Amino acid sequence: MARTVIIEDHGGPEVLKLVDRPVGDPGPGEIRITQKAVGLNFIDVYQRTGLYKMQLPAALGMEAAGVVEAVGDGVTHLKPGDRAAYAAAPPGAYAEARAMPAAQVCPLPDGISFDEGAAMMLKGLTVDYLFTRTTPIKRGDWVLFHAAAGGVGLIACQWARSEGINLIATAGTDEKCQMALEHGAAHAINYRNGDFAARVREITEGRGVDVVMDAVGKDTFEGSLNSLRPLGMMISFGNASGPVPPVDLLALSSRGSLKITRPTLFTHIADHATCQEMAARLFAKVTSGAVKIEIGQRFPLDRIAEAHRALEARGTTGSTILTL
């Protein structure tokens, strides 16, 4: 048995329940993992509220780190006793232990702690696909990144700096803007102080940015389009402020033949070999010191509702983990 967070109905943080559930043995292609730390992400909120539909009752959580206890038939890249971390479907990471598919579970280097592993996999692999797999981005290019003081954002700031990319960060307070600058952003804009798109134009001397990376959604979408240069790419990869309304494709034409995509991490990591390659790039960034994983908050598993409230209120910085 393992303590596990589930929901039986969609709704607010009050629907989160901590229960004891059987773990079971791993089947073919699976592992059983005892978890040491669990990551908190906005996708967990989307699933809890029903924005992303789930069959109920359901366990939540997509990211964790721990020790492999057993492996099923066909699993060759992990063995009992291995340290491991993952961002993977199906949900169920909010647990002391679980049996789960092995393909997206990655061996965790000794130089990375369990807390860091739990804080970095979903967020760091997201940054990897944003910068390496979505559209070509080269040294000297300009990227606008929203919510840059969050877990994904602080990794993105450092990643951009390590690649010679000029990242313009936005955040909701001067303190968060300063944090983004300290982590490698070339410029930072407090979006509460006016039109961020106008400020982007000033910074880029009227040209606009090559790429926008926007996980905020509804509140920033229009300004994001207004920040792009002709032929620029809009990457909408989250909905923290709500879903983006329907888009008039002619608006992309009139703004300069803009491009737009709505990717998800789990498409990029669906292939086992690709997932392991992406994780290797992320681990190399961290072990080299180019990227430091900032853990801003820790909550015990039994305070999961409080953790969700803090995340939704944008009251967190860096990554948030659940301790076990």
Per-residue confidence at 23, pLDDT binned at 50, 70, 90?
A: very high
Q: Binning pLDDT at 50, 70 and 90, where does residue 129 land?
A: very high
pLDDT recorded at residue 243: 85
**Buried b vs exposed e over 249-275: b needs ≥16 C-beta within 10 Å?**
eeebeebeebebeeeebbebbeeeeeb
The span from the CA of 236 to the CA of 232, in Å, is 13
pLDDT at 308: 97
Considering the chain, what percentage of its residues have pLDDT values greater than 70? 100
pLDDT of residue 271: 97
pLDDT confidence band for 307 (50 / 70 / 90): very high
User: Whole-prediction pTM value?
Assistant: 0.94
What's the rounded mean pLDDT across residues 310-318?
A: 89
pLDDT, tens digit, 9 for 90 and up, residues 25-73 = 999 999 999 999 999 999 999 999 999 989 999 999 999 999 999 999 9
Residue 107's pLDDT is what? 98
Confidence band, pLDDT 50/70/90 cuts, at residue 81: very high
Domain annotation for the chain: domains and CATH numbers: 2-123+266-323 (3.90.180.10), 135-262 (3.40.50.720)
Whether 98 contacts 92, CB under 8 Å: yes
Q: Is the per-residue pLDDT at 314 higher than 90? A: no
Write down the pLDDT at residue 296: 93
- Among residues 36, 16, 31, the alpha carbon closest in space to that of 118 is found at 36
218 to 131, 214, 238, 271, 297: CA distances (angstroms): 22, 10, 10, 31, 26
Label residue 315 by pLDDT band (50, 70, 90): confident
Residue 110 has pLDDT above 90, yes or no: yes
DSSP letters for 10-35: -SSGGG-EEEEE------TTEEEEEE
Written as six digits, the tokens of 223 are 């300004």
Give the mean pLDDT of 289-296.
96
Residue range 192-242, pLDDT digits in tens? 998 999 999 999 999 999 999 999 999 999 999 999 999 999 999 988 888
Instruction: Give the integer Cα–Cα distance in Å for 251 and 225.
Output: 9
